[in-house]
Structure 1
Amino acid sequence: MGVESLKLKIENITLLSGRGIFLCSLCLLLFPLFAKAQSSKVSAELDTTAIKIGEQIQYKITVETDSLNLVYFPEDQTFSPVEMVEALKIDTTKNKDRITLQRIYALTQFDSGAYTIPPQRIAINEEPFFTDSFRIRVGDVAVDTTKQKLYDIKPLIEVERSNAKMWLIAILILLGLLIIGGLVYWFFLRKKPLTEEEKVALLPPYDRALLQLKELENSRYLIQDEYKKYYSELTAIVRSYLEEDAHVSALESTTDQLIEKLELLKDAGELKIGEDTIGQFKKVLQTADLVKFAKSKPPTSVAEEDRLLVENIVVKTKEALPEPTEEELLQNEAYLEELIKKKQRKRIYIAAAVFGGLVLIGGGISLAYFGFKTVKDTVFGYPTKDLLEGEWIASSYGFPPIDLETPEVLLRNTEQLPEEAREALKEVQLFSYGSMLGLFSINASSATFKEQVEPNFEGALSTALAGFEANGIKNIIPKQEDFVSKSGVQGLKVYGSGQYQDPISKDRKKIEYTILLFGGKGFMQQVYMTWEEGDEYAEKIVERILASVDVKTQA
């Protein structure tokens, strides 16, 4: 019904009747809805309602509205339970002040069955419009088994363990050692450029004394009236020279004692120096004593002359000293070599101490943060820790299949079944890893019966617990609860603990176990795991395996 015809009908309703007034009011209330319907229109259609697994459906939404309106189409996965593969670009057609918008979505589904595509919400100026829901059917792909050859399941094969993670750890350790080694070399072992002080210290005593006297001449001590520093450095230079080159204990001697020692060496003929030189030296030392202890302040010219006198004394002393013998030169060279080696050893000791300190600090922080056991197991290794942190493998075992993610591939067990078991079972496939009395073990079995009977979970559980007892496990405490696989299959979970005697150490140890039972008419599947109580790595392995368990619901 159009808007104009609606208005005419409203005008024709008699206003004298109460019923007419009510209808008029109702129509006026509904008028905006008709106007809205007239202004915007939303529709949806499918190109097909039946597909095969993996095929696509073209879902098209058409919107007719005013050209000034804002339109928002569905985004993301709003078509569940079907999956949106692709959303094509919006196709726009304009006619005067009206536009028509069309958008096509490619949908698919990979499981057979009947599905309902829910209504989709389209917003026009923030006002919601909804499409109709659609019912579709997804069919299986037919397989002609008369033409397709069937083959036995191939046996499991051994694969080489991936060393990718080990290489990564080795590279990180090597990189860390290189960084530490580089830091130790740079700060302690490398031959650093000598500072000016070190260069001066390596000079021969005579050359060093003359250089220091020259530096004293260029100093600002006298300009700044720092006579005490000036004379202190002046006497220290000459005393150090006499101690090193003339082998006179000058640094700890008083003025009179030092002059007396020089005179004794002169009289003994070991130091060929004149009386006037010794007298000049005594005068300089006495002036220095007055400056340092009596706060005397000689004229600047006297201070400069004293420096020249000291320089002359150093030169004359050098000339008066006898030439060193070859043995003395060798001893001096050996001394220098030993001094160099001593410095190198000191650097090595410092580097070793720094490295040891870093190791101790790092170890202390690791122990405080991670705990002793974790650090010990990381450094020295632990079997279940290696399993947990290794490369895991996802695989299916037996038929009907049991899907598991495990740290190691389960190996097929080829042991023959007892005669009484073969009478009831059509086929059974066993897979296992580890020993029941070891740190960790896992076993999986899938059995089909000769008759389509329901599985006997109680009997299977009794057999499993009897197997535990046969392996020496005592004091078994069982608990049970429902278990749901990853895909929602209901099963039974039995768990608990027991005790056994270690065959090597003869110690009593505790063991924990978990048994999973699934099944339906004509088949049964079992998964059971054992591990040492208190092993946190084994517990994490079990948690991860339980989260990965999945089984089929029928044989």
Structure 2
Amino acid sequence: MLKRNYTYTPYAVPKNWAWAILPFLFYAVLGAAQQAPVVNTSVDTTSIKIGEQIKFKVSVETDTTAQVIFPEGQTFSPLETVEAFKTDTTRKADRMILQKIYALTQFDSGSYILPVQRIEIDGKGYFTDSLRVEVATVEVDTVTKEIYDIKPLIPVEKNMANIPFYVWVILGSLLMIGIVLWYFFRRKPLSEEEQQAMLPPYDRALQELKKLENSKYLIQEEYKKYYSELTDIVRSYLEEDVHISALESTTDQLITKLELMKDAGELKIEDETIQQFKQILYTADLVKFARSKPEMSKAEEDRKSIEHIVIKTKEAIPEPTEEELMEQAAYKEVLRKKALKKRWVQAGVATAAIVLLSLVATVFYYGIDNVRNSLIYQPSKKLLEGEWVSSSYGYPPIDISAPDVLLRQEVELSAEEMNVVRNKQVFSFYNPENLFGVGTSSVILAEPTEPDYQKSIDKALKEFADKGARNIITKQEEFSSVSGVPGVKVYGSATFPGDSENERIKSKYAIILFGGKGFQQQVILSWEEGDPYAEQIIERIINSIDVKTQV
């Protein structure tokens, strides 16, 4: 019997079999390692009330070695980002799952579009879907709920630090003018001389004669002064009450005038009184011009006689007619107006001098430019010194500081733009008082291509021309944001139409552009040329511009 020997090898395989399956194993592992990232988003609700929050969750599944960057800042506009929670990381074999939750809200009712967000994974962008969110108003129950009264006003201490300089100048000037007017028009007590001057001529003459009686002229033998004052008193009385030119007349001329008035019936005085007055005047002439020295008793007697003559003359004057009284009243009114006008002139001169000195001192201390710009209303100065607003606008965001909040503008895309633009957000602020304007625009392109800067510049200049700009001069240079992001700056000047038909206002402008694949950011500035405060505003705005160039 033939016996056969068999050798059993249970795992025997051809020698080249392992090398044959090795490429398949390599590609399987490589395929698993290069599996594409998966981005999922979800929200807890799409309908909220004013002030309530939405939880927007972003989940990214990718390799453990991948670098993932989530959106930061106010990229969910028009919704506001309340809080961005920390990223939660979960590992699963050679993969990891990253979860990021954002708390969003809105304080105005309406229907809002939650914009697309860009998640960057290893330098490549992955976009989320947009989402519509409804924000409803909060109904107030005025039937079953008790309505409380409005709380009373709480007094607060007024802040005096922000009062403009020109207000202080005006208040100081008004205070000084008030002091001057009070000084010139105040009712001060009259002096003895002023009180005596206010008396009627008759009473004043008697009072002056009494004063002469108590003088020391006769004791000191000053007869000339005594008789000069005596005759001046009576002559002044005759001139004011009898209305004859007595002060400039000689003795004979004065006596002749009195006699003529007596004969005409204008002065009912006796001849004896006239002769007595004539004799006293002759005595006074001798004392004044011939240095005669009468007896003291004679001098005292002459004063008494003059007092008697004044009384007789007053009695001899006929009662004034109504026409004469009116003339006297008109004359007094003229005198009053002259005195008042004199006071106003004095007050005006004093006020002008005070204001001029104050202005000179202010110019010397603050400088002529500061004083001129403070006294003259400068809307640009008000913007520069007011409270500035720093915020982020649009998506991709543009960070900028401006004198006021930039307001969102409704944007209607043209047919040409609809083919290349996926989303466009525009914000702007404009002050017509000084032709100052600042605006931003953020554009997401439909395709991940580089933006055409020249096309955007031409469009902006065309909008200037459509608004009436002429003589547009353009220059271009490189620009860098605060964080060093490179961009392009186009600037120059142009003339814009003014208020009147033929008026042209020379202004300046600047267009600053940034961008990358799939997006573009733009800042447009305009201001009046020659406005130093506007120049400072523009410089401050430009120095604050910063952008994120990765969507």
Q: Please indicate, yes or no, whether the TM-score normalized by the shorter chain is above 0.5.
A: yes
Q: Deviations over 1:326-346 (max 9, x none)?
A: 665565456545544554455
Query: Which residue of the other structure, out of 198, 209, 213, is the alignment partner of 1:217?
Result: 213
Aligned partners of 2:285, 2:448: CA distance in 1, in Å?
Answer: 120
1:306 corresponds in structure 2 to 302
2:436, 2:526 within 8 Å by CA — same for their partners in 1? yes
Q: Which blocks of at least 5 consecutive residues in structure 1 are unaligned? A: 1-111, 113-139, 157-163
> Which has the higher mean CA deviation after the structures are superposed, 335-344 or 521-530?
335-344
Q: 1:551 to 1:303 in 2, by over 3 A?
A: farther
Q: Deviations over 1:305-332 (max 9, x none)?
A: 3333322322232334345556655654
Residue identity opposite 2:396 in structure 1: P
Within 5 A, what are the aligned runs for 1:53-64? none
Within 5 A, what are the aligned runs for 1:265-284? 265-284=261-280
Q: 1:220 to 1:437 in 2, by over 3 A?
A: closer
Q: Which blocks of at least 5 consecutive residues in structure 2 are unaligned? A: 1-71, 73-83, 89-98, 111-158
Secondary structure at the counterpart of residue 543 of structure 2: helix
Deviation at residue 199 of structure 1 after TM alignment: 1.3
1:402 corresponds in structure 2 to 398
Residue identity opposite 1:280 in structure 2: Q
Query: Which residue of the other structure, out of 189, 200, 203, is the alignment partner of 2:199?
Result: 203
TM-score where L is the length of structure 1:
0.59
Deviation at residue 207 of structure 1 after TM alignment: 1.0
2:233 corresponds in structure 1 to 237
TM-score where L is the length of structure 2:
0.59
1:290 matched to 2:286? The reply is yes
> Which has the higher mean CA deviation after the structures are superposed, 451-460 or 352-361?
352-361
Q: Deviations over 1:9-45 (max 9, x none)?
A: xxxxxxxxxxxxxxxxxxxxxxxxxxxxxxxxxxxxx
1:448 corresponds in structure 2 to 444
Higher relative contact order (CA 8 A, sep 6+): 2
2:529 corresponds in structure 1 to 533
1:550 corresponds in structure 2 to 546
The alignment covers a number of residue pairs equal to 407
Higher helix share: 1
Deviation at residue 443 of structure 1 after TM alignment: 1.9
Secondary structure at the counterpart of residue 548 of structure 1: coil
1:142 corresponds in structure 2 to 86
Aligned partners of 1:374, 1:174: CA distance in 2, in Å?
Answer: 13
Aligned partners of 1:473, 1:329: CA distance in 2, in Å?
Answer: 76
1:315 corresponds in structure 2 to 311
2:273, 2:309 within 8 Å by CA — same for their partners in 1? yes
2:509 corresponds in structure 1 to 513
Aligned partners of 2:505, 2:303: CA distance in 1, in Å?
Answer: 89
Q: Deviations over 1:419-467 (max 9, x none)?
A: 5544444432112234999933322112334566665545544543454
Query: Which residue of the other structure, out of 176, 182, 199, is the alignment partner of 1:186?
Result: 182
Within 5 A, what are the aligned runs for 1:65-464? 142=86, 148-151=102-105, 175=171, 179=175, 182-183=178-179, 185-223=181-219, 226-324=222-320, 328=324, 332-333=328-329, 335-337=331-333, 339-348=335-344, 351=347, 370=368, 387-388=383-384, 392-434=388-430, 439-449=435-445, 457-464=453-460
Q: Deviations over 1:262-291 (max 9, x none)?
A: 233344554444444333322332232233
Residue identity opposite 1:142 in structure 2: K
Q: 1:195 to 1:449 in 2, by over 3 A?
A: same
1:425, 1:449 within 8 Å by CA — same for their partners in 2? yes
Query: Which residue of the other structure, out of 471, 488, 494, is the alignment partner of 1:492?
Result: 488
Q: 1:546 to 1:224 in 2, by over 3 A?
A: farther
Q: 1:293 to 1:393 in 2, by over 3 A?
A: farther
Aligned partners of 2:174, 2:518: CA distance in 1, in Å?
Answer: 63
Deviation at residue 208 of structure 1 after TM alignment: 0.3
> Aligned-residue CA RMSD in angstroms?
4.6
1:454, 1:520 within 8 Å by CA — same for their partners in 2? yes
Deviation at residue 249 of structure 1 after TM alignment: 2.3
Q: Deviations over 1:365-398 (max 9, x none)?
A: 99997589957x955x566566556654443321
2:44 corresponds in structure 1 to none
2:380, 2:434 within 8 Å by CA — same for their partners in 1? no
2:474, 2:493 within 8 Å by CA — same for their partners in 1? yes
Q: Deviations over 1:239-269 (max 9, x none)?
A: 0111222333211210111122223334455
1:123 corresponds in structure 2 to none
Percent identity, aligned pairs only, is 53
1:403, 1:551 within 8 Å by CA — same for their partners in 2? yes
Deviation at residue 237 of structure 1 after TM alignment: 0.6
1:271, 1:321 within 8 Å by CA — same for their partners in 2? yes
2:224, 2:287 within 8 Å by CA — same for their partners in 1? yes
2:379, 2:433 within 8 Å by CA — same for their partners in 1? no
1:524 matched to 2:468? The reply is no
